[in-house]
Structure 1
Amino acid sequence: MNAVVRPQAPKGGLATWATLVIAGLVLWSLWSIDASPERLLKLPEQMVRVLGFFWPADWGYGQTRALPAVLESIQIAWIGTLIGAALSISLAVLGARTLFPRISRLVKFISSAIRSVPEILLALYLVPIVGLGPFAGALAIGIHSVGMLSKLGAEVIESIDMGTFEAVEAAGGSRLQAIRFAVLPQVLPEIMAQWLFRFELNLRASAILGVVGAGGVGGMLLTALRYRQFDKAAAVLLITILAVLLIDMASSAIRRRLVNS
């Protein structure tokens, strides 16, 4: 008996429709934000003209005022990362489906809820509680870091070989002992690499939190731009960019060693 051959839909049909839908969304978004072709064509010229306002930079202001503020931003990012790392490691273990299947969904929902609130909104909420200054910024960054680090840590734990874990439990060890001696030694290098990567992200975030009074260099930059002191703003921006680049390079080198060890 001959098999019935059913006609197949053209393979390119779905891709064509998806392309049309995406193109329509792009055009609709451009129209919504008033990105007309005329404004887009003038953009390069306007950028060059505005950049000319920032030169030359006031390096004296940068050394005496901007550099201490940038160092404060680094300290905020570092303390915030430590807070996030300390709180996220236990949530990462509880959120691993392979270890705690009953509560992992709840833990992952909590971490998603934390990630949904930007650092600057957390800072706005914390400033009235703990007062103006870098402590509020460090807390905001630390709380927001928990959401990302716990999710990534749980995914790392779920990807490991559970044979060692099961062997420890089979030998009479408790679940806590199995986690301590079988799970953490396997995942800590990669989790620590994630902490360093999060520190890089937190450094960028800490430069913005000063806008709401949470310490760091953001408030100084906003003040310079508000009063059209572009030479001072240029010094702040250049020192901030240089600090971020140096820390990124050092962090990347350490992360490579941790992952490859």
Structure 2
Amino acid sequence: MRSLTKLPPEREAALSGLYAAATGAARRRTLAGFALVAVLAVLAGLVAEVRPLTFAENIGKFTAYLAQILPPVGLDHPVADLRAWYWGLPGWLALLSETLLMAYLGTLLGGIAGFVLSFVASANLVRSRLLRLLTKRGLEVCRTVPDIVFALIFVIAFGLGPMVGVLAIAIHTTGALGKLFSEVVENIDMRPVEGLSAAGATWVQTVRFAVLPQVLSNFASYGLLRFEINVRGAAVLGFVGAGGIGQEFLGAIRNFYYADVSAILVLIILTVFCIDLATEQLRHRLIGPEDPR
């Protein structure tokens, strides 16, 4: 085994100086980055009127409210208490199913629109810069405006009801999925596209046979993820009169029906848990689990 050759003292000192300078510069950049983040956090807190002392003084009210909405289920009569707690279960399940259908239909309509527009917004498939620009700006408008704002506008136009929630979710989903889908399309392998184009295929045929096979699994994965998000969003849209379980939940909060608040909240959480688990399994079947490193 060869022994390491020792550098001359002057060469070793020069390299040590260069290393110390490089590490010192990196350390200063890191500290400057942390300092910048801290300053921005303080400024954001001041602008947002974040008051830690006020939060600490009033945290007791929050915990007291949580104690009030605890379910009235004891050890003496757990079955009877559970029945009393979920006295409105049939009606709540009907409203919850309405919320799920709102999320499903809104996701489906928004997914179809985002699917179509994503190909038009992709720079590697559409040469017209103006067409891409208009499509991307339209998608930005759809996803920038919160779905609850769309719901408020539609409530004024069409009145109360689940249709309002479906329209609001569909528009917001169009913008969100359109952007995600277009980014997937822009990262495909272009060799199949070039081959079909050279063979005389139309634009639609090229998308169908060269693009879709590469992106369909990712599209399905993003669509399932969006459905999870929309289920939670559909529950909130009920607050503005879009129907579903959210409207009943808001009524329980306003009327101080503490047991109903906790019962409906637990019902929504369990539903979201089940949907998350189911869609996770579907995504793994579509794209496969990640390889362990």
The TM-score normalised by the length of structure 2 is 0.80
Superposed counterparts of 1:163-178, under 5 Å: 163-178=191-206
Within 2, Cα distance between the matches of 1:129 and 1:31? 38
Q: Does 1:135 align with 2:163?
A: yes
Gapped runs of 5+ residues in structure 2? Answer: 1-20, 73-83
Q: Does 1:80 align with 2:95?
A: no
Number of matched pairs: 255
1:219 maps to 247
Q: Structure 2 vs 1, CA of residues 127 and 55 (structure 1 numbering), >3 Å: closer, same or farther?
A: same
Superposed counterparts of 1:62-73, under 5 Å: 62-73=88-99
Q: Structure 2 vs 1, CA of residues 127 and 41 (structure 1 numbering), >3 Å: closer, same or farther?
A: closer
2:126 maps to 100
**Aligned-pair distance for 1:218?**
1.3
Within 1, Cα distance between the matches of 2:65 and 2:271? 24
Which of 17, 27, 30 pairs up with 2:45?
A: 30
Greater relative CO, 1 or 2 (CA 8 Å, sep 6+): 1
1:53 maps to 68
**Aligned-pair distance for 1:52?**
0.9
Superposed counterparts of 1:112-123, under 5 Å: 112-123=140-151
| Higher mean C-alpha deviation, range 99-108 or range 173-182 | 99-108
Within 1, Cα distance between the matches of 2:36 and 2:267? 43
Paired residue secondary structure (1:160): coil
**Aligned-pair distance for 1:31?**
4.0
**Aligned-pair distance for 1:29?**
3.4
Paired residue secondary structure (1:20): helix
Within 1, Cα distance between the matches of 2:284 and 2:115? 21
**Aligned-pair distance for 1:59?**
3.1
Q: Deviations over 1:224-245 (max 9, x none)?
A: 1111111011111010111111
Within 1, Cα distance between the matches of 2:180 and 2:144? 15
1:188 maps to 216
Within 2, Cα distance between the matches of 1:74 and 1:32? 38
RMSD of aligned C-alpha atoms?
2.1
- Give yes or no for contact 1:212–1:219 (8 Å, CA) kept in 2: yes
The TM-score normalised by the length of structure 1 is 0.90
Identity %: 35
| Higher mean C-alpha deviation, range 106-115 or range 57-66 | 57-66
Within 2, Cα distance between the matches of 1:188 and 1:235? 39
**Aligned-pair distance for 1:140?**
0.4
1:3 maps to none
Within 2, Cα distance between the matches of 1:35 and 1:186? 47
1:4 maps to none
